[in-house]
Amino acid sequence: MSKTLRIDVWSDIACPWCYVGKRRLEAALAGFAHRDEVEVVWRSFELDPSAPKVQPGPADYAGRLARKYGTTVAKADEMIRTMTATAARDGLTMRFDRAQPGNTFDAHRLLHLARARGLQDAVKERFFRAYMTDGEAIGDVETLTRLALEAGLDRDEVAAALAGDAWADAVRDDEGEARANNIRGVPFFVFDGRYAVSGAHPAESLAKVLAQAWSERAPAVADGEVCGPEGCA
Amino acid sequence: MSKTLRIDVWSDIACPWCYVGKRRLEAALAGFAHRDEVEVVWRSFELDPSAPKVQPGPADYAGRLARKYGTTVAKADEMIRTMTATAARDGLTMRFDRAQPGNTFDAHRLLHLARARGLQDAVKERFFRAYMTDGEAIGDVETLTRLALEAGLDRDEVAAALAGDAWADAVRDDEGEARANNIRGVPFFVFDGRYAVSGAHPAESLAKVLAQAWSERAPAVADGEVCGPEGCA
């Protein structure tokens, strides 16, 4: 019965496919006639909750990848090249050579603040670019503050949020809902609370699911015998 | 993504078709394999918010009906006989000869308390029977209290609620949502927030909508490229 169609997207910042998924969702929405009646909500998901807030210097991304997958650095380099090329086709510049690993919990807290202020998309985009393109330390308080202000958030609100544990419950609620729904990887899209899409599908695929969810959105009212203010029909 | 399917039903107590609609919904649910995964929520709707709490003596129902529809008492009597016969086929005894008009706002407040206590269906049923069958004064505080206790509510909680304005906002919220959704007559069923059925349709029709809503309930997960704790696929 709601007037808008809602798309929930679970994602992390330190997540190449999530950034690609955001671009593909935007492409799907750009071609959708009812764009203005769609609400996108970015939900929290941490790929590595135990990551330290900041790690000094740029990550040896290929080395980490090689260890993670139990492969050679050469193979890992090839994976990175493939990912970078894929992202480029979606208009994104991914600079794994300077990406800095870090903890994204505080970034997710700010994304909840941003949602409350109607700025979630701008902040999400700024964080993605900071991490994937600009090599920014996404878990560093000063860096986060600067990025959040650039995206339009209020300095005092950001400072107050980062100084305390504001929105921490909201992050954990998102993550709890992800677990409850067996979401193990991101991005994970849920259209209208019903159609789930796991992973960065092509824009055309997302557009199809969007159209399907939209087509079922309008309540189909069947009329029968009722009582109204003027009596019973 | 929710585990249960929810059915919201806007209805009033002083509403013959609402009582019939409840029986038909129950019949639809009785034949539904996933009955235990369905939640029915009774939402507030007042057909006559300006009605006095209590009117002395049994209503001249036929006379009121004749005036309402601008017809003769004989015609009104015929309408009553038809409604009574229809209700009887659904297993309900409707005694319009002793029905007492009254204001249902307090009854709706108690229905919200009942929902919070997991007793909403029992209280709703008791109120319907009181009004439609037993000729009870549904707006009378002592009567409401007795009925609510019979249905399992706590004496002190009921007394406290009726003495103040507890749950009044919840009643008005329901009615506001009804207005926002252009609901003008009751019963009005909404399955899973999407399929709307206005009026007391046959159980078979309600069962079909229920099956349809259920079939679309399970998220259809499509798998694509994701990042997980172990890396990006």
Report ipTM for this prediction. Answer: 0.71
Q: Is it the case that residue B33 has pLDDT exceeding 60?
A: yes
Mean pLDDT in residue range B54-81: 83
Banded pLDDT at B62 (limits 50, 70, 90): confident
A140 or A2: whose pLDDT is higher? A140
Q: Which residues of B touch A173 (CB under 8 A)?
A: none
Q: Which residues of B touch A195 (CB under 8 A)?
A: 219-220
B18 or B58: whose pLDDT is higher? B18
Chain A nearest CA to B117, separation (Å): 25
pLDDT in tens, A42-90: 999 999 999 999 886 666 888 888 887 888 999 989 999 999 999 999 9
Smallest CA-to-CA distance from B64 within A3, B55, A62 is with B55
Q: Where are the domains of chain A?
A: 5-58+98-215
Chain A nearest CA to B188, separation (Å): 8
Q: Is it the case that residue A220 has pLDDT exceeding 70?
A: no
Q: Which of B17, B201, B223 sits opposite A199 (nearest CB)?
A: B223
Tokens of B109: 């407040």
Chain B nearest CA to A159, separation (Å): 30
Q: Is it the case that residue A143 has pLDDT exceeding 90?
A: yes
Banded pLDDT at A218 (limits 50, 70, 90): low
Smallest CA-to-CA distance from B11 within B189, B221, B226 is with B189
Mean pLDDT in residue range A140-144: 97
Q: Is it the case that residue A190 has pLDDT exceeding 90?
A: yes
User: By CA distance, what is A61's nearest residue in B?
Assistant: B231
B85 or B224: whose pLDDT is higher? B85
Half-sphere exposure of B12 (CA within 13 A, CB side): 29
Do residues A90 and A28 touch, judged by C-beta distance below 8 A? no
Mean pLDDT score across all residues of chain B:
91
Q: Which residues of A touch B68 (CB under 8 A)?
A: 230-231
Q: Is B224's CB within 8 Å of A65's CB?
A: no
Banded pLDDT at A120 (limits 50, 70, 90): very high
The pLDDT of residue B1: 44
Residue B224 CA to residue A90 CA, distance in Å, equals 16
Q: Which residues of B touch A231 (CB under 8 A)?
A: 65, 68-69
User: By CA distance, what is B182's nearest residue in A?
Assistant: A1
SS (H, E, C) chain A: CCCCEEEEEEECCCCHHHHHHHHHHHHHHHCCCCHHHEEEEEEECCCCCCCCCECCCCCCHHHHHHHHHCCCHHHHHHHHHHHHHHHHHCCCCCCCCCCCCECCHHHHHHHHHHHHCCCHHHHHHHHHHHHHCCCCCCCCHHHHHHHHHHCCCCHHHHHHHHHCCCCHHHHHHHHHHHHHCCCCCECEEEECCCEEEECCCCHHHHHHHHHHHHHCCCCCCEECCCEECCEEC
The proportion of chain B whose per-residue pLDDT surpasses 90, expressed as a percent, equals 72
Q: Which residues of B touch A181 (CB under 8 A)?
A: 1, 219
Banded pLDDT at B193 (limits 50, 70, 90): confident
Banded pLDDT at B194 (limits 50, 70, 90): confident
Q: Which of B18, B220, B233 sits opposite A227 (nearest CB)?
A: B18
Residue B114 CA to residue B122 CA, distance in Å, equals 8
Residue B52 CA to residue B14 CA, distance in Å, equals 13
The dotted CATH code for A5-58+98-215 is 3.40.30.10
User: 3-state class of B92 per DSSP?
Assistant: coil
The pLDDT of residue A66: 86
Mean pLDDT in residue range A186-205: 91
Q: Is it the case that residue B104 has pLDDT exceeding 90?
A: yes
A180 or A92: whose pLDDT is higher? A92
Tokens of B207: 């069962």
Q: Does A89 touch chain B (CB under 8 A)?
A: no
Do residues B55 and B101 touch, judged by C-beta distance below 8 A? yes
Q: Is B222's CB within 8 Å of A18's CB?
A: no
Residue A100 CA to residue A133 CA, distance in Å, equals 10
Banded pLDDT at A3 (limits 50, 70, 90): low
Smallest CA-to-CA distance from A207 within A27, A81, A69 is with A27
Tokens of A84: 């970078």
| Bridge partners, A7 (sequence order) | A40, A191
Residue B201 CA to residue A225 CA, distance in Å, equals 7
Q: How far is CA B118 from CA B6, B9, B11, B115, B123, in A?
A: 15, 16, 18, 5, 10
Q: Is it the case that residue B230 has pLDDT exceeding 80?
A: no
Q: Which helix (H) or strand (E) holds B131?
A: helix B120-132
DSSP per residue over B171-208, as a string? Answer: HHHHHHHHHHTT--SB-EEEETTTEEEES---HHHHHH
Q: Which residues of A touch B232 (CB under 8 A)?
A: 15-17, 83
Tokens 């007793």 belong to residue: B119
The pLDDT of residue B3: 61
Q: Which of A68, A190, A231 sits opposite B68 (nearest CB)?
A: A231
Chain A nearest CA to B37, separation (Å): 16
Half-sphere exposure of B69 (CA within 13 A, CB side): 20
Q: Is B228's CB within 8 Å of A47's CB?
A: yes
Q: Which residues of A touch B231 (CB under 8 A)?
A: 65, 68-69
The pLDDT of residue B192: 87
Report the Cα–Cα distance between both ends of chain A, in Å, rounded.
24
Q: Which residues of B touch A209 (CB under 8 A)?
A: 222
pLDDT in tens, B131-167: 999 999 999 999 999 999 999 999 999 999 999 999 9
Best B13, B23, B232 member to test A by mutation, with max A CBs in 10 Å, is B232
Q: Does B128 touch chain A (CB under 8 A)?
A: no
Tokens of B44: 């507030």
Which B-chain residues 202-221 have CB contacts (< 8 A) with chain A? 205, 209, 216-217, 219-221
Phi, psi of B83 (to 5 degrees): -60, -45
Q: Is it the case that residue B227 has pLDDT exceeding 90?
A: no
Mean pLDDT in residue range B92-109: 94
Residue A194 CA to residue B3 CA, distance in Å, equals 11
Mean pLDDT score across all residues of chain A:
91
Q: Is it the case that residue B218 has pLDDT exceeding 60?
A: no
Phi, psi of B100 (to 5 degrees): -110, 115
The pLDDT of residue B64: 83
Which B-chain residues 41-60 have CB contacts (< 8 A) with chain A? 47-48
The proportion of chain A whose per-residue pLDDT surpasses 70, expressed as a percent, equals 95
Q: Does B118 touch chain A (CB under 8 A)?
A: no
pTM above 0.95, yes or no: no
Those residues with Cβ within 8 angstroms of residue A49's Cβ, 6 or more apart along the chain or in another chain? A103, A105
Residue A179 CA to residue A136 CA, distance in Å, equals 29
Residue A186 CA to residue A12 CA, distance in Å, equals 7
User: By CA distance, what is B48's nearest residue in A?
Assistant: A229
The pLDDT of residue A58: 62
